[in-house]
Amino acid sequence: MKREKVSILTKLSACLLCALMLALGTAGRTEAAVYSTTDAAAILYTTNQTSFYTEPDAGIAPVSTVGAGIPIQVTGITSNGWYRVSIGGVFYTPGNQLVQAPTAPVYTPTEKLEKLEAAVTNNEETASIVKRGIEAHASCILLTGGTGTYQTMYQTVAAAMHAPLQDYEQATINGLMARQSGRNCKVEIQRVSTIAEENAVDAAVAQLVPQMNQGSTYDKVVRVHDFICKQIAYSDETVAGTADYKSAYDALASGQGVCTSYALLFQKFMDQMGVPCYVGTGIRNGAGHAWNVVNVDGQWYHVDCTWDDQSYGIIHKWCLAGAKTAGYSSLGEITLAANDYRP
């Protein structure tokens, strides 16, 4: 029996509404009398294990602790050297726990373009522009060029779509059509999601990252794996052709998806958290399938949220599986660790 799962976008909307109410409810409060606050405006970044408090006082328990590299809006500096910050409400963190430059990779969404047009003079330039269009989630690339432009365009998109190791944008491609008219060459790229949907995914995952991005890389991977398995119900209707839940957006908005949904959402979290990861594609158990490979402590491991999401609960057989469990030793240019990762 299919598990009914509530849209995480609906949950986040409710959380954001609660955060807004909290902010409105606390806007008129004053700090403890022993502290004064000077208004300020800056974006600073968390260091490892940055803690947030309801008052600028280390003697009380923190309300949250996050990992490094997260941008934080600073709104003031207290007389005892703390920062007043805005993160869905008014909170404080010690002055030595925020820095001007991120200490870990900070995810920046790539530019997104519906259509990319350019004039090209050689095949190398053609391939470079097409790759930019793929990365920008473009659904149409129109190039004016010479001999070979059409073939280079088609081959570049096809290679990205069928690569055994794919980044997020490559993995959103599920079809292409190319045509040539004189010197004009056009490739139409079918995606599992629109730009508007991808912007919603970026925003939703960014809201969730602070609570996921804590502890060791192993902790982060398992936490995201479990969240996704709880969030998504496998869509038999999509397999049967009566529904179309194939994207990370579908997983967040409807709570339903197929293997691409699981793999894309996991990839998005890893990208935003700065953890090296790819979407793996190929034949598994005699059928086309998508999963992830992720780097933990310098070695690559297999992660398959789809297969670990069982009707009776979550298992971890395919979470950080090595070659012996995964059933393959290499994929594309990566080599899996021989054994499962178990701390």
Of 73, 99, 125, which marks where a domain is finished? 99
Q: Is residue 67 part of a domain?
A: yes
Q: Do 323 and 200 fall within a single domain?
A: yes
302 vs 147, higher pLDDT: 302
Q: Is residue 155 part of a domain?
A: yes
Q: What pTM value is reported for the model?
A: 0.74
- Residue 309's CATH number: 3.10.620.30
- Residue 161's CATH number: 3.30.1370
Of 148, 170, 191, which marks where a domain is finished? 191
**Which conformational region is residue 102 in: left (phi greater than 0), alpha (psi within -120 to 50 degrees), or beta?**
beta
- Residue 67's CATH number: 2.30.30.170
Span 205-233, mean pLDDT?
A: 93
Span 236-256, mean pLDDT?
A: 94
Q: Do 308 and 220 fall within a single domain?
A: yes
Span 106-131, mean pLDDT?
A: 91
Q: Do 151 and 47 fall within a single domain?
A: no
Q: Do 231 and 305 fall within a single domain?
A: yes
The model's confidence at residue 122, banded by pLDDT at 50, 70 and 90, is: very high
Q: Do 221 and 309 fall within a single domain?
A: yes
| pLDDT at residue 108, as a whole number | 77
| Nearest by Cα to 223 from 210, 212, 208, 209 | 212
What's the Cα-to-Cα distance from 61 to each of 18, 25, 80, 93, 136, rounded to whole Å? 22, 21, 18, 12, 43
Q: Exposure of 151 by Cβ count < 10 A (0-12 exposed, 13-18 middle, 19+ buried)?
A: middle
Q: Exposure of 186 by Cβ count < 10 A (0-12 exposed, 13-18 middle, 19+ buried)?
A: middle
| pLDDT at residue 6, as a whole number | 59
Q: Do 176 and 205 fall within a single domain?
A: no
Q: Check whether 300 has a pLDDT greater than 70.
A: yes
Lowest pLDDT segment from 9-23, 90-104, 164-178, 219-233: 9-23
Q: Check whether 152 has a pLDDT greater than 70.
A: yes
The model's confidence at residue 19, banded by pLDDT at 50, 70 and 90, is: very low
Q: Are 249 and 197 in contact (CB under 8 A)?
A: yes
Q: Do 75 and 37 fall within a single domain?
A: yes
Q: Do 209 and 293 fall within a single domain?
A: yes
Q: Do 283 and 214 fall within a single domain?
A: yes
Q: Which domain holds residue 40?
A: 31-99
Q: Do 233 and 297 fall within a single domain?
A: yes
Q: Do 127 and 213 fall within a single domain?
A: no
| pLDDT at residue 71, as a whole number | 78
The model's confidence at residue 57, banded by pLDDT at 50, 70 and 90, is: very high
Of 66, 99, 132, which marks where a domain is finished? 99
Q: Do 121 and 169 fall within a single domain?
A: yes
Q: How many distinct structural domains can be found in the chain?
A: 3
Span 12-30, mean pLDDT?
A: 42
Q: Is residue 24 part of a domain?
A: no
Q: Check whether 15 has a pLDDT greater than 70.
A: no
The model's confidence at residue 102, banded by pLDDT at 50, 70 and 90, is: low
| Nearest by Cα to 65 from 83, 55, 53 | 53
State the Cα–Cα distance between residues 139 and 141, nearest whole angstrom. 7
